[in-house]
Structure 1
């Protein structure tokens, strides 16, 4: 079996690759794995260091928007797992051009190449943010998309493209939409690693607005296991939600992190709210549970404690990233 993983040096993609090559996924133990990653600021070869010497891993630095590179790698591929994306909402508000190029044009380039190569399965990894905001209840997979940020709009566009390639060309596409991920190796611009590393250094943390914005939290290991289930057994043309089952307001999340890091409320710095900040996300995961047997395994209390401990003991990974933010070199 040959698997092409785009964005495999990023936070979620690298976890998927490490688990895959370690034999965690049944029947994929000897899969030949090709990682395609542009190595933007969020892609880091160190994320793949634990498996760098695995003979089944091939790493290619390249752009998913480059049809020559993509066509070459797509030959003889049985499965594409497409993680590669620009994903930070604040960056999309400041300048959405890279998001349109990578998330829309890049996905289109991959889909076209997959059709030409006759790929057996294509899993497009997306986000709950494509739905906008929900006041009560939870979204099912047939909820109309209503994105509010430029990031979410580009992901919604790529979702539509992926499903259209299934309907038009018969490409066996599945789309996964996840809730907020956390875990080790997450670039320290996202809220949990940013807050954890700031607190570990005795710094303050910036809490948006009144802190009422609510998210469901999903450990990256549960997310990747859900993706593997969809890749193995999901029905082509279908969307599957992957959630974690722990909903917290940003204020509640901050309080948890303060407690784990031994800080108090004086470490919280209130900042103006993000433009177009969605109030609440929540996914109904009954479909993937009933069809594929998915359930989150990592409890949030355990997962967040282990995540903070990872950042505490891996300063050599994150300190250089925070010392030289993107655009400062």
Structure 2
């Protein structure tokens, strides 16, 4: 098994989508490993760094931040130049917003991925780690989902990610571009926005008397962000996995209502949970059940999740409570 700290020591690494939830945790892990990290974030006139703002000052000072747009091929090419490993996480990910603005998902998720892969191909990058999502599988057709499960575009978001995954596959098959696709199942942890259900539950439990959620009986396989990041790091460093698609999940699934009840118990609060119709996906678009088969990740990467659900929830609760002012609990964030 590759010594990850040794592998990334002083290695030039680019993280796209570094200001996002998983991207910021990955950037932090790389900085702690003393990699030479460039963090690509989306340009904003506010000059904010997204979730990178939560990094300790010494780590923030150790990374190079570049701001631009993943849809701009010239900008992407300049960011990719001279990098040894590229972790591509930049994407639009909110499923409800994909019903409102589907074309933007095609431009960001498909064209943005094309820009990264074309730059990597032309510049000879040693490894590209492309980020997929378990949403590409749609509702499980088998007991557990392995990487051969059919892909089902049950939302414009998932369709755009299927397109991006296939672009990545085509670049490996057509040009031998050394790309590995990692397919995280639902990830949670500190820094996640209220567009995800776990911080939604926590923030509402901290600030409101009633918890408003969408579907309560859908089943999800939840991985703590630190474990997901460990999978990314292994995918970037392990030899011989080019062209592979690899699930990152726990292999266990629970309904949304289970997580809600567990969170309320850990917070020691007793509040009513109700279903809010505007938070419910269209019936044929809802993914009813996701549970990973992670055997391939264990075999190829030596990866297994290490953090229990309760431990991950406790860390997430602590973060949300400490930053409750960042969560708008009075509105539905799409």
Q: Is the 8 A contact 2:134 2:185 kept in 1?
A: yes
1:63 deviates by 0.6
1:7 corresponds to which residue? 17
Q: 1:198 to 1:122 in 2, by over 3 A?
A: same
Q: 1:136 to 1:168 in 2, by over 3 A?
A: closer
> Which SS does the other structure have where 1:97 is aligned?
helix
CA–CA distance in 1 between the matches of 2:324 and 2:257? Answer: 26
1:219 deviates by 0.3
Count of equivalent residues: 317
Q: Which runs of 5+ in 1 are unaligned?
A: 24-28
* Deviation sequence 1:75-119 (CA, Å, 0-9, x none): 111111001111011111222122111101111111111111111
Q: Which runs of 5+ in 2 are unaligned?
A: 1-10
Q: Is the 8 A contact 2:252 2:291 kept in 1?
A: no
Indicate yes or no: 2:294 matched with 1:285.
yes
1:203 deviates by 4.0
Indicate yes or no: 2:133 matched with 1:127.
yes
Match for 1:221 among 207, 222, 226? 226
CA–CA distance in 2 between the matches of 1:45 and 1:212? Answer: 30
CA–CA distance in 2 between the matches of 1:265 and 1:312? Answer: 16
> Which SS does the other structure have where 1:17 is aligned?
helix
Indicate yes or no: 2:320 matched with 1:311.
yes
Q: CA RMSD in A?
A: 2.3
1:270 corresponds to which residue? 275
2:7 corresponds to which residue? none
> Which SS does the other structure have where 2:132 is aligned?
strand
TM-score (norm 2): 0.89
Match for 1:38 among 42, 47, 66? 42
Match for 2:144 among 138, 155, 171? 138
TM-score (norm 1): 0.90
Q: Is the 8 A contact 1:18 1:48 kept in 2?
A: no
